[in-house]
Amino acid sequence: MASSLICSETQSRVSSVLNRDVKQYGKKFMFDCNEETCWNSDQVKIHFSVLVLISFRLPVQIQIFF
């Protein structure tokens, strides 16, 4: 049975936030399960997102949508 490794204790960092407007486009919106919100970044050549997963399970599949 598939389940998410993302939980309330998951820590994250992102390369940038659009116009530094974290209230509308911050990293907290990447995993809020709301289609009306999203993380959005400035136009730069390289983007990154770092996740510190708390779960001790081995991921079998990782899905990333942009």
What one-letter code names the amino acid at 3? S
User: How many residues does this entry show for the chain?
Assistant: 66
pLDDT digits (tens, 9 = 90+) for 7-63: 777 788 888 888 998 888 888 888 788 888 888 888 888 888 888 877 777 778 877
Residue 3 has pLDDT above 80, yes or no: no
Quote the CA–CA distance of 16 and 7 in Å, as a whole number: 22
DSSP the chain: ----S--TT-EEEES--GGG-HHHH-GGGSSS--TT------S-S---EEEE----PPPS------
